[in-house]
Amino acid sequence: MSVEQRKLEDHKLINQAKKGDQKSFEALLTKYRNLVYHVMFKMVGNSQEAEDLTQEAFIKAFRALTSFNEEFAFSTWLMKIATNNCIDYLRKKKLKVFSIDEPVKYKDEELQFEIPAHDPSPERQLLEEERSKYINNAIESLPPRYRHVILLRHKEEKSYEEIAEILDLPLGTVKARIFRAREMLNKKMKNIF
């Protein structure tokens, strides 16, 4: 397939995805997932982080699909989003941190931190309970095939491969469902938080 044919095929899929066509959305995900994952893995060196960054990149790209300029290749535009997101992630991750439980050595002395314990205020506790309840309700409102993968991934902390094995589904299907479930949850949460 020539570059022009690939570009035309992508533009057709993009236009269908903009109209809400799930199959076109999944076709773009399937077509470019390995490329994005490969670059994310090269950047972070960890398969789980690369997997999550790949999912985030597709979520951001599909949210911004209306701003896609058809003069350019979709893959170039998608990779720009993915690499920028990954760079932001790496910047946040590299923030210098230290343990408040360990003394800090300064010149010839050790400094110990003492931080007073603060229980959350009743208002804060109530807000957290409400937020938790809302998140659980949002998960429960998902269609069963999406709810199941989200619960396995985030509540039981199963890997994508484990989920595929448990549900007897192809790995690509599991990834697409988790991606779609996250997107649905993000839409629900955006209205509240």
Q: Which domains does the chain have, with CATH numbers?
A: 3-93 (1.10.1740.10), 120-190 (1.10.10.10)
Residue 57: pLDDT over 90: yes
Q: Say how far apart CA 84 and CA 91 lie, in whole Å.
A: 11
Is 55 or 76 the better-scoring residue by pLDDT?
55
Phi, psi of 118, deg, nearest 5:
-125, 110
Residue among 50, 44, 26, 79 at smallest CA distance from 160: 50
Q: Answer whether 89's CB lies under 8 Å from 83's CB.
A: no
Residue 192: predicted pLDDT:
60
Q: How far is CA 10 from the centre of its chain?
A: 23
Residue 53: predicted pLDDT:
94
Residue 165: pLDDT over 80: yes
Rg (CA), the chain: 21
pTM of the model: 0.51
Q: Say how far apart CA 107 and CA 88 lie, in whole Å.
A: 34
Residue 1: pLDDT over 70: no
Q: What is the mean pLDDT of residues 106-134?
A: 68
Which tens digit of pLDDT belongs to each residue from 20-47?
888 888 898 899 999 999 989 988 988 9
Residue 193: pLDDT over 60: no
